[in-house]
Structure 1
Amino acid sequence: MDVRTALAAREYAALRPATEPDPAQAGAGASLRAATEDFAATLRKGEEAAMASMTGDADPHALVMALAQSELAVQTVVSVRDKVVEAYQEILRMPV
């Protein structure tokens, strides 16, 4: 067996984890997942505040703040969706 081949194989095995994708830094997929989770949490907090105000457990100021945050989150998601649809339509219009 050639010593250089064994050395190359050992070096390759040592460096291989450096070339594999890091799940903690998955890029757009991870940031999209985090944004979706934040959106769901914001809506959930608004629903909880609305339920608490119906039973008289929350003050009206907290309800208004939670509903305003929910409205802003929905408007943001709708505008992002519109931009994605616009980009998709632009791609469809491109000549092949």
Structure 2
Amino acid sequence: MDIKNVQAARVYADAKLAAPVGSAGSSAEDAGAEFLQSLVGTLQRGEDTARAAMTGNADPHALVEALASSQTAVETVVTVRDRVVEAYQEILRMPV
């Protein structure tokens, strides 16, 4: 084994011990979970409004608003997905 590899492993182990456990990941996880719950709620309200409109229990304007909100939510998720894939591809292109 090369000395540089041993030094790199030692520095990595020291940095791993110095990093706070769960502080950065938990807030990102919480934000992601909150975002997904908001998305599911928006889509569920859109479906409920569409169902009510089909049975004649909802205003057509409410249906249009619910569908527009659902469309915006789906477009947002697609945009976030595209950005994550783009960032992942940039990481893969980095020289090691």
Q: TM-score range by the shorter chain?
A: 0.7 to 0.9
| Corresponding residue number in structure 1 for 2:36 | 36
3-state SS in 1 of match to 2:86: helix
Seq. identity, %: 56
TM-score, length basis structure 2: 0.74
| Corresponding residue number in structure 1 for 2:71 | 71
TM-score, length basis structure 1: 0.74
CA 85–48 in structure 1, closer or farther in 2 if over 3 Å, else same: same
State the shift of 1:21 in Å. 5.8
| Corresponding residue number in structure 2 for 1:51 | 51
Distance 1:33 1:21 in 2: 16
State the shift of 1:86 in Å. 0.2
Give 5+ residue unaligned stretches, structure 1.
1-18
Q: CA RMSD in A?
A: 1.7
State the shift of 1:51 in Å. 0.4
- Code of the residue aligned with 1:50 in structure 2: it is A
- The one-character-per-residue Cα deviations of 1:62-94 (angstroms, maximum 9, x if unpaired) are 000000000000000000000000000000001
Count of residue pairs brought into register by the alignment: 75
